[in-house]
Each structure stands twice: as C-alpha cells, then as structure tokens.
C-alpha cells in the first residue's frame, strides 16, 4: 500500500510531566515503516536529544508503548500506514504514568501495583524438589493460560479510564497477573492474592468499560480476568461469613 504523501508529519511530545509541548518533524515515509522507526529516525537524524524507550523491536519486551494519535500502542509493531492515513502522526508518552522526559514514562507506579496485587509468584516447592506436574487440560490451567502472554507494556494501563479517575486503582495488567496466579496450581498464596485485590484500589473498582481488552496488543482480555477476580473474591466473602458464623 503506497502512502498518500512521501513525507510524514510527526508531532512529538517534548518535555517532562510538568511542562512541554508538541514539536513538529518531517521525516521520509518508507515502506513497512513502524512508528518506532519514525521515532528512531527523528532521534538519529534530526534531534539526538529526543528520549524514548525500546529494546527488542519485535513485540516481546513491552518497552516501546506510547500514545499514537491519542491511543496507546506498541510502537514497534504499529505500522505507520495503519495510523497515518493523512500522513500525520502525533506521538506522546503513555497516559496515566508520570513523564520522565519526552516519550519516556516512569514505570515504577505500574510495577509497584503488580506487587501490591500480589502479582508475584509464591512457590510451594524448593529448587531441590521435583517440578510439579501440571495438567494443561484443567479449567484452572486454561484460565491461567488465557492471561499469561502479557508483556508488561502498560498499554492497558494507559487505556484504562478507571486508572485515570482513580490513581489508587491497581489497573488491568496487575489484576490480570493476579488472576493467572489465582489459577496457577503451583502458586501457594491464593487467599493472600484474593485479599490483595479486595482492598481499596482493587478489582472491585473496575467499571467493565473494556478499553484494556480493546487495546491489548497481545489480544488478552484483562476485563475477563478482573471479572473472574470479582467472582472469586465474592465467593471467598461468603465463605468467610459462613466460617465466622
């Protein structure tokens, strides 16, 4: 597919979280060019002070997510042709995260919420013991498998309006991770995970708008994982009530 113009008009956010603005650049349009290619071209040829983050360039590491024309995308796998119908692209740092400089966001709040959601593996065996056999056909394992391809890119976190309105909310990625562990036969802290996602900023704050599932580049459905957590925590709530009675 040929581009409408041979020059791309790229508008890039320059500055930090407190001040800054969009700066315009013109770059040559090329066949099979990605948005990350466009950013790299600007940094390598027009302005070496432009800061951005990337690593693998093949959609595995989750480093290069940015806002492209107002929508969160993994820029290494987003073709310019897909987003620049009029030959113009606006590139900004990921929404809902503090900006360090230009297109680089501070990912600390994002990963701190993974830990707050108990999104860390809780082993039940030591390395000296045999590896636990896992039957891939069990419903629990299949539920876990549906969510484990997350690459931690924070696209869902940037897309989530609940995160924007409620900074305490753990967000779709951390809750999706918690759900995979709740369903992981090898994880030994199911009650602790359910407690962690039941607190003030937990899964119950989700409004089920579904932007996470719409924008996830790996086509995961965090909204379904969050619904699963709501179901399981409600079940555990009734269970606790019965035990306390």
Partner 1 sequence: MLDLRLYMLQRLSALVMAPLALGHIAVMIYAVQGGISAGEILSRTEGSVGWGLFYGAFVVAVSIHAAIGVRVIAAETLGIRGVSLAALGWLVCLGLLAMGLTAVFSVTA
CA 14 vs. chain centroid, Å, equals 23
Q: What share of the chain is helix, strand, coil (3-state, %, to 5)?
A: 40, 15, 45
4 backbone dihedrals φ, ψ, rounded to 5°: -65, -35
| Min CB(207)–partner 1 separation in Å | 9
Q: Is 201 in the site for partner 1 (CB under 8 A)?
A: yes
- Rounded to whole angstroms, the Cα distance separating 11 from 25 reads 6
The residues in 38-97 that bind partner 1, with binding defined as CB under 8 A, are none
Q: Which is nearer to partner 1, 34 or 162 (CB)?
A: 162
Rounded CA separation 142/32 (Å): 36
Residue choice 204, 210, 213, 224 for contact with partner 1 (CB under 8 A): 204
Q: Does 192 bind partner 1 (CB under 8 A)?
A: no
The answer to the question of residue 168 lying near partner 1 (CB under 8 A) is yes
Read off the DSSP letter of residue 169. Answer: -
Does 166 engage in binding with partner 1 (CB under 8 A)? yes
Does 233 engage in binding with partner 1 (CB under 8 A)? yes
* Residue in this structure with the two tokens 């595995």, named with its chain if needed: 60
Q: How far is the CB of 162 from partner 1 (least distance, A)?
A: 8
Which CB, 148 or 234, lies closer to partner 1? 234
Q: Which residues contact 31 (CB under 8 A, 6 or more apart)?
A: none
Q: Which stretch binds partner 1 (CB under 8 A): 18-26, 31-39, 53-61, 231-239?
A: 231-239
Compute the distance between CA of residue 29 and CA of residue 48 in angstroms, rounded to an integer: 20
- The verdict on 200 binding partner 1 (CB under 8 A) reads yes
Residues that bind partner 1 (CB under 8 A): 162, 165-166, 168, 198-202, 204-205, 230, 233-234, 237
């Amino acid at each position: 597919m040929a581009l409408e113009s041979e020059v791309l008009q790229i508008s890039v956010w320059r500055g930090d979280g407190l001040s800054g603005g969009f700066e315009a650049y013109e770059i040559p349009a090329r066949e099979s060019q990605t948005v990350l290619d466009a950013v790299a071209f600007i940094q390598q040829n027009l302005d070496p002070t432009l800061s951005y983050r990337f690593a693998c360039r093949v959609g595995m590491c989750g480093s290069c997510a940015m806002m492209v024309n107002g929508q969160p995308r993994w820029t290494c796998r987003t073709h310019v042709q897909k987003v620049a119908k009029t030959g113009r692209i606006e590139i900004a740092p990921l929404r809902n995260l503090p900006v360090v400089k230009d297109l680089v966001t501070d990912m600390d709040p994002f990963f701190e919420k993974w830990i707050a959601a108990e999104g860390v593996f809780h082993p039940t065996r030591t390395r000296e013991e045999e590896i636990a056999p896992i039957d891939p056909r069990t419903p629990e394992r299949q539920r876990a498998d549906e969510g484990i391809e997350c690459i931690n890119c924070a696209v869902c976190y940037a897309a989530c309006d609940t995160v924007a309105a409620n900074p305490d909310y753990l967000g779709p990625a951390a809750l999706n991770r918690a759900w995979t562990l709740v369903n992981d036969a090898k994880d030994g802290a199911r009650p602790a995970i359910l407690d962690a996602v039941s607190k003030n900023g937990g899964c119950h704050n989700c409004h089920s708008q579904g932007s996470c599932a719409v924008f996830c580049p790996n086509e995961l459905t965090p909204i379904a994982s969050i619904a699963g957590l709501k179901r399981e925590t409600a079940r555990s709530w009734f269970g606790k009530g019965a035990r306390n009675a």
